[in-house]
Amino acid sequence: MIELKREAEVFVLRMTSGENRFNRAFLTAMNDALDEVEQSEGPAALVTVGEEKFYSNGLDLDWLTANPDLVTDFLADFERLFARVLAFPMITVAALNGHCFAGGAMFSLAHDFRVMRSDRGFWCLPEVDLGMPLRPGMTALITARLPKPTFHEAIVTGRRYAAEDALAASIVQATGPEVDVLGAAISLASPHVGKSREAMGALKRGMYADALETLRAGAPHEAI
């Protein structure tokens, strides 16, 4: 489900659950891995990556449908994961090896940087086509991390951005073929492993104070 390895001073967190959709078990495994990274000592950075043609397709809607009594608490915890990564006390890079949709796209935005596979895969916020409103924390995260024109277009059109379009829209910072995506993400993170964790965390908390407050509040969305 989640594999964590260390390559020199960069932790590589690999999601290995097919479409890497978030349910309670997947969220717990993710937080356990992040605990291990945070509890490590010495210079470090974090890179996350999926496998084959998926980075993450977002929420596990089948699991949510089957567990309606767990949805409210789970979604609040899902947003708290975004907050955790957004304020993570080291450099974080998402290596988008494949499709990155909905909650998976939001998870990628919580990282400091994104590198996207150029030969396959889309980045997309499809909620308008799914008829699903965003929760306040999700809106706060996207607003904080995307240029306003991109934010507007992505939300109201549900556009699927291929790599070069995502680069032009400032969704990602670099692109490359599948074989190079993870290496490029590690190379992007590596020069920053020695930065102070205390300072990094404090600076991120300051930059994103409003978004973090909303994400941690766990407020539900308004009804359609």
Q: Tell me the CATH number at 154.
A: 3.90.226.10
Report d(CA 110, CA 93) in Å as an integer: 9
In a domain, 71, yes or no: yes
The label of the residue with tokens 């992040």 reads 34
Q: List, in order, residues 6 or more apart from 93 with CB less than 8 Å away.
A: 45, 46, 47, 48, 111, 112, 113, 114, 115, 185, 186, 188, 189
Contact 102, 55 (CB under 8 A): no
In a domain, 223, yes or no: no
User: What residues pair up with 54 in beta bridges, in sequence order?
Assistant: 51, 99
Domain membership of residue 199 as a residue range = 2-217
Q: What is the mean pLDDT of residues 164-176?
A: 98
What domain count does the chain have? 1
In a domain, 121, yes or no: yes
Q: What count of residues does the chain have?
A: 224
pLDDT grade for 65, boundaries at 50, 70 and 90:
very high
pLDDT the model gives residue 224: 26
Considering the entire predicted model, what is its pTM? 0.96
Q: How far is CA 218 from CA 29, 44, 126, 133, 212, in A?
A: 20, 30, 21, 15, 10
pLDDT grade for 144, boundaries at 50, 70 and 90:
very high
In a domain, 85, yes or no: yes
206 pLDDT higher than 70:
yes
pLDDT the model gives residue 218: 74
Q: What is the mean pLDDT of residues 201-207?
A: 98
In a domain, 222, yes or no: no
